[in-house]
Amino acid sequence: MIATGSDLSIMVRRGLLTFKPFRIFVLGIGFFSLCFLMTSLGGQFSAKRSGESPFTVRAEVLGGQESRGVLRKISDMLEVIMKRMDALSKLGNTTDAHRLDELSSALDSYCMSDIIQCVRRGECCKSMPSTNRMRSTNNYKIQPVGLVERIQAIAQNMSDMAVRVEQILQRSMAGNRVRDGALGQCEIPKDPHYPDCPSKMDWMRARWTSDPCYAFYGVDGSDCSFLIYLSEVEWFCPPLAWRNQTATPTWKPPPKRQAVFQFDIGTLLEQVGTGKESLSFMKRRIRRLAAQWASAARRLDDKLRNHWREQKRILVHVGFLTEESGDVFSPKVLKGGPLGEMVQWADIVTALHVLGHDLKISVSLKELHGFLGVPPGRGSCPLTGPLPFDLIYTDYHGLQQMKQHMGLSLRKHKCHIRVIDTFGTEPAYNHEEYATLHGYRTNWGYWNLHSQQYMTMFPHTPDNSFMGFVAEELNETERLNIQRNKVNNMAVVYGKEASMWKGKEKFLAILHRYMEIHGTVYYETQRPPEVPAFVKNHGLLPQQELQQLLRRAKLFIGFGFPYEGPAPLEAIANGCIFLQPKFNPPHSSLNHEFFRGKPTSREVSSQHPYAEQYVGRPHVITVDFNNSEAFDATIREIMKINVEPFLPYEYTCEGMLERVHAYVQNQDFCSPDDPFPPVNTSRSWLGSSPSPFTLLPNSSVLMWASNTSSYTSWPPLSALRLLASLEDQSCVSACQSAGLICEPAFYRFINIKEAFSALDFQCEGLESEMNHLYPAFSAEHAECGLQQDALLFSCAGSSAKHQRLCPCRDYRIGQVALCRDCL
């Protein structure tokens, strides 16, 4: 007993002299208490089994002389740890101090709390019998569960700690070798090509512990580790000459594979997942339309027989359905909430799957991290490997989540992203610097993407790409049944929420004179008081029952909200006339709360502008609901009209497959455009013509001259039509007036002084600046303005002082997104 106490005294003194951290001193006190307790009890641990740690104990407490042997083993192990810690105590720089802190913290958590609490509460002694009693009973065995379990845990943790000490010591010595070998090589390089390196080094010194991802990449607090990280993981510092640059293998893109149409939706349904009512809704829709998708794929396959289609690796991250974004949609699916976004996402994933692409679907941050290979931490560090996807489809919520968790990698990989954006994002709102300086900054937008990376539900913003969705098509038998079963005096109201019915009594009373009115307003127990008594309310209907209701009804009437949803097209496809209110003045972010904060200045002239402009009479009638006489006359007109079911081709399964195929195979925002006009070529790019433009026969519109040098472009330059807008007219409107569509991809070909000459503008001055209206001509000053920043090429926007140069194109009937030669 005295010898053992002497050994422990020597160990404690050695610990106090060797260790700088105060916590290690406390550890010595703790182990002294443990050894004293065990000795006073006279217990022992049974012999360890083969392969066990020196600190692994058996749950038996015996009397006998062997307890001192066990303490001797503990003393020997602590001696080993002391020697290793002695080496650590000699380390002197800030990095090593950090490691000592790390170790002492580990020691505390591993050992002290259990020992000290046990002794302070006296629980250790209470659970044990007296020493004399144990010694007087030769074969007495007891299972003091509380104490034994505590000692087992402490002993195992001490074993783990010994391993960890060894690891820290090895890392420290390796770090010393690196520092010894790279002495003077970890100074901050002064390279004009990397001007941010010094400031980033200062930031790393102060903040490297703010995110665990830095330690994940090997940062340990030393300048060498900072430089390695900033030169090899990020790109703010130059490559280090003393590093083995050949260690990083050269990445080779995977071989290209041909996409093959897929007709089985089983794997897609598995990927969509479960656990949310929104996902269940999407899966029901996918199942219901599966046969139509398969039939459409076969027809498109016949069209594309001679086209080789590349299979793309595609990630779909539905950000608005993640728990982290709040997911306000899922709980409302069965309570009359909006379904338009889920309709579109279900159709997007189905189209991509059917087209034969390698698809992954994410509806949580955990899934997003796994698919992208995000390093652990808070998102401060970039991805180091190549992006494992060719395309990423997401929404604004998902885009924000990727910014938070991809770090600088988002800037590097954002050309692969496509943002599903219901109402559209105009270039003036998308350009962060310009939006901030000129009052276009909103809670959305400002991502500095190419404007065509935003994809809309309807083709209302030509600056963006039109993604769309699908409505169910009717077969010939269904069309005949609709014609036989239509009820001439039956109307269905577009409005599932009771709040939409407030203030609508006046024109509903007029409608009630001529028609039986049906509603599909959600309610739980009592009929909503906002719904008039003469309305037959069916409650919220499943999709198939709603379809049957629409197939019997003559009229589908909107109240002005929701804007631009899928329901009006579904009603028209089922043989209804859609009656909607006209907005005067048009609704926009300037005068209406719903649009305020959205990244667009678009003016909405009716509840559903697409239906008004692209479908029109007799299927769609737009009228001022505040004019009772006009409303009454319109109802009487509708009673006399007979229409057949109608669905625009672009909203059929085949139309969407065709459009998505064209986007996936042709849109490329990652490869830089060749400069135009070509540099250092004098005027040779014009060929034999003095201008790259020539007049279309019998027209004032210009086209790309056939004898001008050809350039790679999608859409092809053969579709380009150049014209000038009127003053205070946008290019959207100017192109529409000519029966064309504004095409932002052509802006770089008309942003030249030759375009002004071709349109007979006499430029007394020529300037270049960041202005979303440029290129444009100012008649007041006879000045021509060229666009300085390609991200600001914009079909939207007008000025009373400017005539804008507008790049228009033709389009296919029923497929406004594609030109005639675009497939």
**pLDDT confidence of 819, banded at 50, 70, 90?**
very high
Q: What is the mean pLDDT of residues 135-151?
A: 42
Predicted confidence at residue 682, as pLDDT, reads: 57
Return the SS3 of 368: helix
Whole-angstrom distance, CA of residue 635 vs CA of residue 88: 90
Predicted confidence at residue 536, as pLDDT, reads: 97
Q: What is the pLDDT of residues 535-552, one digit of tens each?
A: 999 999 998 999 999 999
Q: Which pairing describes strands 776-778 and 803-809: parallel, antiparallel, or unpaired?
A: antiparallel
What stretch of H or E contains 637? helix 628-640
**Token duo for residue 724:** 């000038």
**Token duo for residue 684:** 């040779």
Whole-angstrom distance, CA of residue 455 vs CA of residue 425: 9
- 536 or 71, which is more confident? 536
Q: What is the pLDDT of residues 292-319, one digit of tens each?
A: 999 999 999 999 987 899 999 999 999 9
- 424 or 88, which is more confident? 424
Q: What percent of the chain has pLDDT over 90?
A: 63
What stretch of H or E contains 355? none
**Token duo for residue 74:** 């503990």
Predicted confidence at residue 776, as pLDDT, reads: 97
Helices (H), 564-691: 567-573, 609-610, 628-640, 653-666
Name which of 129-143, 146-160, 185-199, 766-780 the model is least confident about.
Answer: 129-143
Name which of 270-274, 381-385, 587-591 the model is least confident about.
Answer: 381-385
Sequential DSSP letters for 153-203: HHHHHHHHHHHHHHHHHHHHHHHHHHHHHTTT-SSPP--TT-TTHHHHHHH
**Token duo for residue 140:** 């007495």
Find out whether 614 and 815 touch, Cβ atoms under 8 Å: no
Which sign, positive or negative, has the C-alpha torsion 143, 146, 149, 154?
negative
**Token duo for residue 629:** 């006489």
pLDDT at 167 over 70: no
* Paired residues of 606 in beta bridges: 582
Neighbours of 460 (CB within 10 A): 20
Q: What is the mean pLDDT of residues 408-437?
A: 95
**pLDDT confidence of 384, banded at 50, 70, 90?**
confident
What stretch of H or E contains 362? strand 358-362
Closest CA to 711 of 741, 683, 748: 748
Closest CA to 564 of 630, 523, 613: 613
Return the SS3 of 473: coil
Predicted confidence at residue 77, as pLDDT, reads: 54
Mean pLDDT of the chain: 82
Q: How close are the terminal C-alpha atoms of the chain, in Å? A: 92
**pLDDT confidence of 669, banded at 50, 70, 90?**
very high
Predicted confidence at residue 573, as pLDDT, reads: 97
Please tell me what DSSP assigns to residue 407: T
pLDDT at 619 over 60: yes
**pLDDT confidence of 177, banded at 50, 70, 90?**
very low
**Token duo for residue 387:** 């992006």
Which sign, positive or negative, has the C-alpha torsion 172, 174, 177, 179?
negative
pLDDT at 101 over 90: no
Return the SS3 of 148: helix
Whole-angstrom distance, CA of residue 671 vs CA of residue 661: 19
Q: What is the mean pLDDT of residues 32-47?
A: 41
Whole-angstrom distance, CA of residue 667 vs CA of residue 453: 9
Closest CA to 799 of 771, 760, 821: 771
Whole-angstrom distance, CA of residue 650 vs CA of residue 741: 15
> Distance of CA 87 to CAs 56, 273, 375, 436, Å?
26, 54, 33, 57
Long-range contacts of 414-417 (CB under 8 A, 24+ apart): 414/447, 414/448, 414/449, 415/450, 415/453, 415/669, 415/670, 416/387, 416/389, 416/390, 416/391, 416/392, 416/670, 417/391, 417/392, 417/393, 417/449, 417/453
Predicted confidence at residue 332, as pLDDT, reads: 85
Q: What is the mean pLDDT of residues 246-253?
A: 63
Q: What is the pLDDT of residues 441-499, one digit of tens each?
A: 998 889 999 999 999 999 999 999 999 999 999 999 999 999 999 999 999 999 999 99
**What torsion do the CA atoms of 728, 734, 736, 738 make, to the nearest 10 degrees?**
140
Q: Is 665 left (phi over 0), alpha (psi -120 to 50) or beta?
A: alpha
Which range is most confident: 98-102, 217-221, 272-276, 345-349? 345-349
**Token duo for residue 124:** 């250790």
**Cis previous bond, 807, omega within 30:** no
Predicted confidence at residue 525, as pLDDT, reads: 86
Q: What is the pLDDT of residues 320-379, one digit of tens each?
A: 999 998 888 888 888 877 889 999 999 999 999 999 999 999 999 999 999 999 888 888
Helices 94-107 & 67-89 angle (0-180, nearest 10): 160
**pLDDT confidence of 407, banded at 50, 70, 90?**
confident
Find out whether 662 and 822 touch, Cβ atoms under 8 Å: yes
**Token duo for residue 110:** 């591993």
pLDDT at 435 over 80: yes
- 55 or 265, which is more confident? 265
3-state secondary structure 766-813: EEEECCCCCCEEECCCCEEEEECCHHHCCCCCCCCCCEEEEEEECCEC
Q: What is the mean pLDDT of residues 141-146?
A: 41
Find out whether 497 and 576 touch, Cβ atoms under 8 Å: no
Predicted confidence at residue 81, as pLDDT, reads: 53
Find out whether 427 and 793 touch, Cβ atoms under 8 Å: yes
Predicted confidence at residue 271, as pLDDT, reads: 95
The residue type of 679 is V
Q: How many alpha carbons fall within 13 Å on the CB side of residue 615?
A: 31
**Cis previous bond, 715, omega within 30:** yes
Predicted confidence at residue 154, as pLDDT, reads: 59
Please tell me what DSSP assigns to residue 472: P
Indicate whether this model's pTM tops 0.85.
no
pLDDT at 23 over 50: no
Return the SS3 of 230: helix
pLDDT at 710 over 50: yes
Q: Which pairing describes strands 702-704 and 693-695: parallel, antiparallel, or unpaired?
A: antiparallel
Please tell me what DSSP assigns to residue 66: T
What stretch of H or E contains 686? none
Neighbours of 150 (CB within 10 A): 19
**Token duo for residue 564:** 């631009």
Which sign, positive or negative, has the C-alpha torsion 89, 95, 101, 105?
negative
Find out whether 218 and 228 touch, Cβ atoms under 8 Å: yes
Q: What is the mean pLDDT of residues 186-205?
A: 93
Predicted confidence at residue 378, as pLDDT, reads: 85
**Token duo for residue 148:** 């034994």
